[in-house]
Structure formats: structure tokens, C-alpha cells
Structure 1
């Protein structure tokens, strides 16, 4: 089963990280990548630009309405993601727990399913 591992952090805290803290975060993610590439569970992933560089486009009856900034106005913002393929939801959560630290303060682990969830049941 495929899962999205969505990582959330405070962008202000990200920008305030020291070089040593950035190196620690990079080291931890590189180790996770190596482990999961070795097992075949890592499919892809990426870090995301800061929310100030984000555009959100809202649907309205009179047409799309773009706005600067992220979809939600919260302290913690989506900062990165992984797409993993593993055998059980428990394993997916275990992988998600490995990215929690002083920087990534919340992780959402969500199954990826067919046809955008629109398949007939």
C-alpha cells in the first residue's frame, strides 16, 4: 500500500535553525532515505518552498481566485513529503515517527488510493 508522509514545521523555526541543526536534520533524512531505498519502500519525496512563496487558488462560482500564501493560516505548515510503499499501516506510521524531531513537529500519514478516492464502491 502506498502512503503519503506529510511533514509539518514552523517556517520561522526553519529559517532560524543553526548550521549544525540543519546538518542534523539533513543527516537524519539521508539515513532514512538509505534505509527505505534499501527496503524498496521509498518511492519519492521532496522538501517544499517556504509558505511565503506559495500560491493558493480557491474555487468560486465566478471562477478561480488566486491568493498569496498557504491554504491554512497556522504556525505549522506543510514543509516536505515522502511517498512510501509498505506492507502495513503500522509500518507507515513507524516511518512517519522517524521524521519527528525539534524541526518536524507533526507528521500526517495518509493512505494513497485509486482514482482520487472517487472509485465506485
Structure 2
């Protein structure tokens, strides 16, 4: 079963971290990627640009409207994700807890129900 593990960053929380804590997050991602690659559970991972670089596109009455911001106005924003292929939801949750960001913010675990 494949699961999407989404990472959400709150810039206010990130700003409170020490340089050592921030470096621990970066290094932790390297270790996590190595671990899930070694176990064969890695499918894909991506880091996303800051929310300030987001464009939200809507088509209304046949006209395309572009807004320079995220769809959801929030303190936190989607900053990256992992797709993992695991035996169970419990394993997906276990992996999510290993992502260093989980110490400072939430990691969402969502089952992938369709791939095209």
C-alpha cells in the first residue's frame, strides 16, 4: 500500500529553532531517506518552495484568475512530501514519526487510493 506523508512548515515555529536544531532536521531527512531507500519503502520525495512563491489558479466564468498565495490561508504551509510503499497503515505511521519535522509540527499520513 502506498501512503503520502506530507510535511507542513510553520515559519514562526521554524524561526524559534536553533541552528543545531535546524541542522538536525536537515540531517534527519538524509538519514530518513537512506533508511526508507535501504528498506525498499521509498517511492518518491519532493521539497517544495516557500508558500510565498505559490500561485493559486481558478477558472470562473471561463476566465482564469491567478492569486499570488496558497489556496488555504494558514500559518503553516505544505513544504514537502514522501510517498512510501509499506505493508500497513501502522508502518506508514511509524515512518511518519521518524521524519524529523514531526518533533516540531505535524506529519500527515494519507493512503493513496488511485494512481494515474
Q: Shorter-normalised TM-score: what interval?
A: 0.7 to 0.9
Matched position secondary structure for 1:72: coil
Query: Residue 11 of structure 1 contacts residue 50 of structure 1 at CA under 8 Å; is this kept in 2?
Result: no
Cα RMSD after superposing both structures: 1.7
C-alpha distance in 2, partners of 1:60/1:86? Answer: 40
CA-CA distance at 1:27 after TM superposition: 1.4
- Summarize the alignment of residues 51-66 of structure 1 with structure 2, pairs less than 5 Å apart: 51-66=51-66
C-alpha distance in 2, partners of 1:40/1:16? Answer: 35
Q: What is the match of residue 31 of structure 2?
A: 31
TM-score (norm 1): 0.83
- Summarize the alignment of residues 6-21 of structure 1 with structure 2, pairs less than 5 Å apart: 6-14=6-14, 17-21=17-21
Which runs of 5 or more residues in structure 1 are unaligned? 117-121
Q: What is the match of residue 101 of structure 1?
A: 103
CA-CA distance at 1:39 after TM superposition: 0.6
TM-score (norm 2): 0.86
- Provide, for residues 3-53 of structure 1, a one-character-per-residue CA deviation record: whole Å limited to 9, x for no partner: 110011113443565432221101111111111101100111121111001
Give the total of aligned pairs: 114
Q: What is the match of residue 92 of structure 1?
A: 92
Query: Residue 55 of structure 1 contacts residue 66 of structure 1 at CA under 8 Å; is this kept in 2?
Result: yes
Which runs of 5 or more residues in structure 2 are unaligned? none
Seen in structure 2, the aligned counterparts of structure 1 residues 42 and 60 have a Cα distance that, compared at 3 Å, is same
C-alpha distance in 2, partners of 1:80/1:115? Answer: 19
